[in-house]
């Protein structure tokens, strides 16, 4: 019984560690190990998130605090780039976040530059793919911005058609009134 419990706990620990590693990537930059990924997982399009960076020394694994002033971070997607403002994460020494809202599904690239404790850093990594929030919505998925825009365009088309019919109806009514006035005038 004791062996079964120990083996079960060991397997659970390995599975949990494996799942965590899948979502983040490690970059070695000189004397420093940088773990990069998303602060909130899974990353969902349209929801606030942050690029996550954890810095430690390669030799002893000690976290590196104070890098937010010298390390730069930029997020890239589809030929566009945005500089991120890094902030230290409370109660997690050596961990930093650069807040933004990923607005599109797909893979984003995190580009790091500047320096850590005087050592230059130039690195980049593709971080986990951003997915649609609809995969987690319950009880029913909300329409995407593109779907809403298509619906708006469809309604605009219908309103234009209805307006044309309305104008044609008014024109026919005006012609009918003129003809009725002429007919009444001839009667007298």
Cα 101 from chain centroid? 5
pLDDT value at residue 3: 53
Measured between alpha carbons, how far is 141 from 151 in angstroms, rounded to an integer? 16
- pTM for the model stands at 0.66
Mean pLDDT to the nearest integer, 120-135 = 92
Element (H, E) at 21: helix 2-23
Name the most confidently modeled range: 17-31, 113-127, 131-145: 113-127
Q: Give the neighbor-by-neighbor strand order of the sheet with 32-38.
A: 25-29, 32-38, 49-57, 95-100, 86-88
Measured between alpha carbons, how far is 71 from 92 in angstroms, rounded to an integer? 17
Tell me the C-alpha to C-alpha distance, in Å, between residue 82 and each of 76, 77, 134: 6, 9, 26
pLDDT at 49 over 90: yes
Cα 33 from chain centroid? 26
């Amino acid at each position: 019984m004791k062996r079964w419990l120990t083996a079960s706990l060991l397997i659970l620990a390995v599975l949990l560690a494996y799942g965590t590693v899948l979502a983040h990537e490690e970059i070695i930059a000189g004397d420093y190990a940088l773990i990069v990924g998303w602060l909130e997982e899974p990353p969902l399009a349209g929801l606030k998130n942050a690029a996550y960076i954890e810095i430690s020394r390669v030799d002893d694994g000690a976290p590196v605090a104070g890098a937010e002033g010298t390390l730069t971070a930029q997020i890239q997607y589809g030929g566009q780039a945005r500089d991120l403002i890094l902030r230290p994460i409370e109660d997690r020494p050596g961990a930093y976040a650069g807040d933004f809202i990923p607005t599109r599904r797909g893979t984003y690239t995190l580009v790091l530059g500047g320096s850590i404790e005087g050592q230059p850093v130039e690195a980049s990594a593709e971080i986990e793919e951003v997915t649609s929030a609809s995969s987690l919505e319950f009880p029913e998925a909300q329409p995407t911005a593109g779907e809403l825009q298509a619906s708006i365009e469809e309604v605009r088309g219908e309103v234009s058609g209805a307006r044309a019919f309305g104008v044609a109806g008014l024109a026919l009514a005006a012609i009918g009134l003129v003809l009725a006035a002429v007919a009444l005038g001839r009667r007298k």
